[in-house]
A and B are shown apart, each in its own frame.
Chain A
């Protein structure tokens, strides 16, 4: 049995890692201190070279994203995306609750790299206690001279603040998040301009996921060759896989990128509940394309590039397992009703399309569908595609179209 590798979930091996002295005894803030000795541009370069890709869903190269910030427009901001609202995702929460200092250190490195003097942490409203917890930690870091003015005797100053959302999945989308942070409705902005150029308060802004940021202390502290020994060439490092659904041991599993679904589900997750038979995998939460859990799929290594080959993105690696007890009609209604509830309402196809699909999927599950309903559902989903302002609308069609295509029999006779 292959083991998990704890670069991010180090608290699982080191008790009390959330305490500053323990964290410092365990290489804590070495990455940040190293960064402070480097030119900011060199920090960006090192992160570029590390190959780190965003863990928030899109897998965009982190260093590259940072390099887009113009140097003639100030101030710069960094915002940590701790909105974690994709159904099936619960990894950022574990980092924040158990290993908060590593996350904060990562955020501090990102801030230094782009020379931001203010960083915000946008947490979903339900993480109310976590926000209070982070506030405590931030205060401790200020006490210790790691945050505040002229950090560790350098010219660099930095303040971090938490900010709570209040129940809106769309605020995980980076431009909606910025709107929300500015006190407005969480509705996505037009792009371009991208946040790197016009972000928070119209200023150049980096937005990174909690897990992405938590990689930085490792990359800076231990170097790229250490980091790159995990994962694949195009997907270096480890990834926290959130395993949920019909498995015996749901939970977070930190594995190098490139391990197979089979390993995750059967070795770590302990197999299917009640010895059932696996039917499908969702790799990116409710936004997933359904993967038929055949042998080929199970043996596919989980990386950004390999899952693309399955026609399904890795996303935030929120792996929801479906077994034979799951009726895809029901599943599709579940996902659609989620997106209907969370559609921000700004653009027509998502707002109206999710509302309409929700009616159809409900009817499909009512036992009294109309004969044309399945075709209509496919049509409506296709009509949504390619027309929305942000990805949410697109996400709402994923399970629908792949579900009907791959599990048609679940829809027959309904």
Chain B
């Protein structure tokens, strides 16, 4: 059993149970989400471990990572702030909202804050067009929606996440 399998044994068994045993490959996306849980990206080792568990080639696993926009094989922000600037949202001020947020955070589209906590990016429609402006936060293995936002409310969300990270770092230090 490889390191990734050992780390998430229960979860992996549960995921595999969803698909016919000879169709293990179906589990590749769930396992990639699992791999992203801790640091919001898939490391080369995790890629190889997943390939081994699912009896796929590493290339085929990497290819899945490359195709889907919610998978990352680069280490960027712990949280990805994904603002929808697609047509329906843009009709309701999403582009201005995005620019304002970038300015507040001092990063440009696709950039990461200096503390490494937040990567901010534009995304396509999130199925929340009636509550624009809207963004989602991808991180810590979750994706959470924030709707009917203003730059102020968005900054509060970000501040709360930052606080959470600070607290965690403190308690880690405390433990160490």
A contacts B: CB pair < 8 Å = yes
Identify which of A126, A286, A334 contacts B143 (C-beta below 8 A). Answer: A126
Give the shortest distance, in Å, between B10 (CB) and chain A (any CB).
15
B161 at the A interface (CB under 8 A): no
- The answer to whether B129 touches A244, judged by C-beta atoms less than 8 angstroms apart, is yes
B166 at the A interface (CB under 8 A): no
- The answer to whether B30 touches A168, judged by C-beta atoms less than 8 angstroms apart, is no
- The answer to whether B18 touches A322, judged by C-beta atoms less than 8 angstroms apart, is no
A371 at the B interface (CB under 8 A): no
A93 at the B interface (CB under 8 A): yes
How far, in whole Å, are A183 and B26 apart by their CA atoms in the complex?
A: 4
Identify which of B27, B63, B68, B90 contacts A125 (C-beta below 8 A). Answer: B68
A326 at the B interface (CB under 8 A): yes
How far, in whole Å, are A169 and B126 apart by their CA atoms in the complex?
A: 10
- The answer to whether B127 touches A183, judged by C-beta atoms less than 8 angstroms apart, is no
- The answer to whether B143 touches A128, judged by C-beta atoms less than 8 angstroms apart, is yes
How far, in whole Å, are A88 and B70 apart by their CA atoms in the complex?
A: 20
A-B contact count (CB 8 A): 138
B144 at the A interface (CB under 8 A): yes
Given A163-B18, A322-B91, A338-B87; A88-B125 close (CB under 8 Å): yes
Give the shortest distance, in Å, between A134 (CB) and chain B (any CB).
13
Give the shortest distance, in Å, between B48 (CB) and chain A (any CB).
16
Identify which of A165, A181, A244, A344 contacts B91 (C-beta below 8 A). Answer: A244
How far, in whole Å, are A166 and B136 apart by their CA atoms in the complex?
A: 14
- The answer to whether B130 touches A90, judged by C-beta atoms less than 8 angstroms apart, is yes
A221 at the B interface (CB under 8 A): no
- The answer to whether B91 touches A184, judged by C-beta atoms less than 8 angstroms apart, is no
With both beta carbons as reference points, the residue of chain B lying nearest to A162 in the complex is identified as: B18
- The answer to whether A320 touches B91, judged by C-beta atoms less than 8 angstroms apart, is yes
With both beta carbons as reference points, the residue of chain A lying nearest to B31 in the complex is identified as: A183
A242 at the B interface (CB under 8 A): yes
Note all chain A residues with C-beta closer than 8 A to B107.
Answer: none
Given A164-B33, A334-B90, A338-B86; A86-B68 close (CB under 8 Å): no
With both beta carbons as reference points, the residue of chain B lying nearest to A399 in the complex is identified as: B87
Chain B 129-148 interface residues, beta-carbon cutoff 8 Å to A: 129-132, 136, 142-145
- The answer to whether A185 touches B67, judged by C-beta atoms less than 8 angstroms apart, is yes
With both beta carbons as reference points, the residue of chain B lying nearest to A85 in the complex is identified as: B125
A167 at the B interface (CB under 8 A): yes
How far, in whole Å, are A93 and B20 apart by their CA atoms in the complex?
A: 28
Give the shortest distance, in Å, between B142 (CB) and chain A (any CB).
6
- The answer to whether A128 touches B142, judged by C-beta atoms less than 8 angstroms apart, is yes
Chain A facing B: main interface SS: mixed
With both beta carbons as reference points, the residue of chain B lying nearest to A246 in the complex is identified as: B91
Chain B 1-40 interface residues, beta-carbon cutoff 8 Å to A: 18-20, 23-30, 32-33
Given A245-B92, A342-B124; A250-B71 close (CB under 8 Å): no
What string of 1s and 0s marks CB contacts (under 8 Å) between A378-397 and chain B?
00000000000000000000
- The answer to whether B127 touches A93, judged by C-beta atoms less than 8 angstroms apart, is yes
With both beta carbons as reference points, the residue of chain B lying nearest to A331 in the complex is identified as: B87
- The answer to whether A166 touches B144, judged by C-beta atoms less than 8 angstroms apart, is no
How far, in whole Å, are A252 and B69 apart by their CA atoms in the complex?
A: 27
Note all chain A residues with C-beta closer than 8 A to B67.
Answer: 168, 185-186, 344
Chain B 90-149 interface residues, beta-carbon cutoff 8 Å to A: 90-92, 123-132, 136, 142-145
Most chain A beta-carbon contacts within 10 A, residue among B32, B88, B128: B88
Query: How many positions in chain B have a CB within 8 Å of any CB in the partner chain?
Result: 43
Give the shortest distance, in Å, between A341 (CB) and chain B (any CB).
6
Chain A 333-359 interface residues, beta-carbon cutoff 8 Å to B: 334-335, 338, 341-342, 344
By size class, the interface of chain A is 35 or more
A74 at the B interface (CB under 8 A): no
- The answer to whether A166 touches B33, judged by C-beta atoms less than 8 angstroms apart, is yes
Identify which of A87, A181, A185 contacts B26 (C-beta below 8 A). Answer: A181
B155 at the A interface (CB under 8 A): no
Give the shortest distance, in Å, between B153 (CB) and chain A (any CB).
19
How far, in whole Å, are A252 and B70 apart by their CA atoms in the complex?
A: 27
- The answer to whether A88 touches B64, judged by C-beta atoms less than 8 angstroms apart, is no
Give the shortest distance, in Å, between A166 (CB) and chain B (any CB).
4
- The answer to whether B27 touches A183, judged by C-beta atoms less than 8 angstroms apart, is yes
Note all chain B residues with C-beta closer than 8 A to A217.
Answer: none
Give the shortest distance, in Å, between A36 (CB) and chain B (any CB).
24
- The answer to whether B68 touches A186, judged by C-beta atoms less than 8 angstroms apart, is yes
What string of 1s and 0s marks CB contacts (under 8 Å) between A239-272 and chain B?
0001111100011100000000000000000000
Note all chain A residues with C-beta closer than 8 A to B33.
Answer: 125, 164, 166
Given A163-B30, A245-B92, A320-B87; A88-B129 close (CB under 8 Å): yes
Q: Which 6 A-B pairs have the closest CB atoms?
A: A167-B69, A183-B25, A166-B68, A250-B130, A167-B70, A87-B125
> A residues touching B (Cβ–Cβ < 8 Å)?
84-90, 92-93, 124-129, 161, 163-169, 180-186, 201, 242-246, 250-252, 286, 320-322, 326, 331, 334-335, 338, 341-342, 344
- A-B CB contact pairs (8 Å), 19 listed: A85-B125, A87-B124, A88-B88, A89-B125, A126-B143, A129-B142, A161-B18, A163-B26, A166-B33, A167-B68, A182-B25, A183-B25, A183-B27, A242-B129, A250-B130, A286-B86, A326-B91, A334-B86, A334-B90
Known: A125-B70, A167-B68, A243-B130. 6 other contacts (CB 8 A): A90-B130, A163-B29, A186-B67, A244-B91, A286-B86, A341-B124
